[in-house]
Each structure stands twice: as C-alpha cells, then as structure tokens.
Amino acid sequence: MPKESDLTIDAQTIVNQILPHRLPAQESAEAFAPANIALCKYWGKRNEALKLPLTGSLSVSLGQLGTRMRISLDDRDRLSINGTPQLAESNAYKRLFAFLDLFRVSGTAFRVESHNSIPMAAGLASSASAFAATVNTLNQLYGWDLGDSQRSILSRLGSGSASRSICPGFVEWQAGERPDGMDSTAVALESVWPEFRVGILTLSAAEKPVGSSEGMQRTLETSMLFQSWPNQVAKDLPVIREAVLQKDFKSLGPAAEQNAMAMHATMIAAWPPIIYWQPESVATLRRVHGLRADGVEVFATMDAGPNVKLLFEAKTENDLRQAFPDLKVISPFAD
C-alpha cells in the first residue's frame, strides 16, 4: 500500500482548493493569534507535506499571549520580529516566506512585522501563533472571509500545532482521515473555565537543538516506543476532552502530565536520542511532584524544549507563586 506521504497532493494544491479566486489585496492588514499549549500532544505526522498528524491532539490557547502581525505590500520581502529586522538567511525568514509563497499573487512582496509576547523557539509554541497569525492577517489583507476550519487547515501547512491557534479557549485538532487533510482541522470545545491556569517557567530561552519536525520524524523512524504512542493518545484524548468539558481538574491534570511524559519517553528512545530536558527541567518536575505530595494540586507538561509549564486552578495560584517566584501565570479565559 502506498504511504500517504507518497501521494502527490502538495500544500499549493490545498491552498488553491481553499482559495480558488485570488482577490486584490489592501495595502496593509493586522491580526493576532494566540499561542497554545497542548494538554494531549501532537507528535508524529502521517503526511509530511500537508503536516497531517497521526493522532488527534487538544490544547488550550493562551489568551492575549501570542503573535500580533502586520503584513503590508512592499517592493521587496522584509521581516522584523519584535522590531528587529531578520536576515534573509535566518530560519525564521526562510520558513515564513516559503509559507507566504503559497499565497503570493505574481509580483507581490510583503513586509511582515511580527510581535511575539513569548520567547521564540523555546518550546513555547511561538511558531504556532506565528503561522496562525500569518493566515489571520492574510485573511484580512485579501478579504478572504474564511471560517475557522479553513484558516486552521491553511495554518497547519505552516506548522502543525498552528492549526489549533486559530481558536481561543480549549481546542481539539481532529486528526481526520482524508488524504487531502480537509477533515484535519481544529474545533473549539464548548468549555469556559475561568479558574484554569497555565504557569510558564522559562528555564532556558535558547534555541532548541532539534526542531519539532525533525524530532517527530526521527522518533517515528527510529523509536520502538513510538509504536505505543497512538495507544497512549487513544487513552488520554477522551479523558482530557471530557475533563475539559466537565471542568474536572482532578482528571485533567494526571492525564495531561502522563501524556507529556509518554511523548518525551518516545523521543528519548529515538536514535540519536532526543533529550529536550535540561537539569533545571528535571529539578522542576521533582518540585512539582513534591508539591503534589504536600497536597498542592499542580501538574506539569513539556513540549519540544526544556521549559516546564504548570497546570493548576486559581485556588492554587498563591501557593505556586510562592514556590516559583519567576512563574508567569496565564489565565486563558481572562479578557
């Protein structure tokens, strides 16, 4: 049986399908997309070109924390991030303009001004908010008037987890089954949970040694433990979805932490091993376990980087601020 990745559907075909008629652009437009933290992780693609996932995943968007972007028509391509011009040789520039190539009408050049309220490439999902913000801004610039699922599909072509940054609140990215990925989109979950908190501990803002795309691919190809990953998600995703809908932190916390640890276990068993953890990460996980043993309800999650994110409810916030003076507390449901 041919692998899906062998099929010839490419990102441009999907863009042309969603945007059959190209409209003239305005001079300039601006939009925002939130960062997101996965509670049930996405790790592993069934199709590289379209960034189609092997499993579903579920995240919480981080409210006002994310990427605000302005895109203007210009005589040549330019990118600035937080006010600093980026060289054409930089990874951020190359990745963004390769993505924008999918949407260019001949002869168009773009000036992109991106403002992130999160450290870049430190496993805090800045690429997710950046690609989702790009699509949201293009949607304004060209007046496409696309709905959530179409913007989610387009964002996914930039970065898988960007598909979830289209919606606020809790978001499920349904894996879908179609080879063209038209059913692989984010869906907002009907759950408003004002007491839910995410705490960010930036242990290291250094660039990660292995990017998530390469990391996923290596895990899939070389880690025997990866065979168990779809089963882990099949167990965790319904529990996490239900916990979010019921606002049941006692079910959510353990499932989310175990899901993150299981994802990292698959990477550690890859060859060469992928170990995003730093000594500070392990020390922080141990403190979280210690706090739990003392009755503080806090759980941890980690992505493709050394930083640890804490999951808790408002009633625990003071205890955690005391335990971690540098903790940045995010209320995903605050205005």
**Residue 292: CB atoms within 10 Å:** 16
Of 67-75, 153-161, 240-248, 317-325, the segment contacting ligand PMV by CB under 6 A is 153-161
Q: Which of 11, 25, 41, 100 binds ligand PMV (CB under 6 A)?
A: 41
In the complex, the smallest distance separating the C-beta of residue 75 from ligand PMV, rounded to whole angstroms, is 32
- In 95-215, DSSP assigns E strands to 109-116, 170-173, 186-188, 196-201
Is residue 133 helix, strand or coil?
A: helix
If you search the block for the tokens 């692998």, which residue do you land on? Answer: 3
Q: Does 130 bind ligand PMV (CB under 6 A)?
A: no
Q: Which is nearer to ligand PMV, 42 or 324 (CB)?
A: 42
Task: Please answer whether residues 133 and 115 qualify as being in contact, where contact means their C-beta atoms are separated by less than 8 angstroms.
Answer: no
- Cβ pair 211, 303 in contact under 8 A: no
127 lies in the binding site for ligand PMV (CB under 6 A): yes
Q: Does residue 304 interact with ligand PMV by CB under 6 A?
A: yes
Nearer to ligand PMV, 50 or 291 (CB): 50
Contact between 126 and ligand PMV by CB under 6 A: the answer reads no
Q: Residue 130 belongs to what H/E stretch?
A: helix 126-141
Residues in region 233-292 near ligand PMV by CB under 6 A? none
Cβ atoms of 175 and 312 closer than 8 Å = no
- Distance between CA atoms of 39 and 320, rounded to whole angstroms? 19
Q: Which of residues 106-125 bind ligand PMV (CB under 6 A)?
A: 125
HSE value, Cβ hemisphere, 13 Å, CA-based, for 290? 10
Radius of gyration of the chain measured on its C-alpha atoms: 19
Does residue 159 belong to the site contacting ligand PMV (CB under 6 A)?
A: yes
Residue 152 interacts with ligand PMV (CB under 6 A)? no
User: Of 53 and 253, which has the nearer Cβ to ligand PMV?
Assistant: 53
Q: Which stretch binds ligand PMV (CB under 6 A): 26-34, 41-49, 67-75, 311-319?
A: 41-49
Q: Where are the beta strands (DSSP E) in the chain?
A: 28-40, 45-47, 52-53, 57-74, 78-81, 84-85, 109-116, 170-173, 186-188, 196-201, 299-302, 308-313, 328-330
Binding residue (CB under 6 A) for ligand PMV from 28, 117, 191, 213: 213
Q: Which stretch binds ligand PMV (CB under 6 A): 38-46, 138-146, 241-249, 293-301?
A: 38-46
Considering only residues 79, 166, 303, 324, which one is a binding residue for ligand PMV as defined by CB under 6 A?
A: 303
Residue numbers at the binding site for ligand PMV (CB under 6 A): 38, 41-43, 57, 125, 127-128, 159-161, 212-213, 303-304
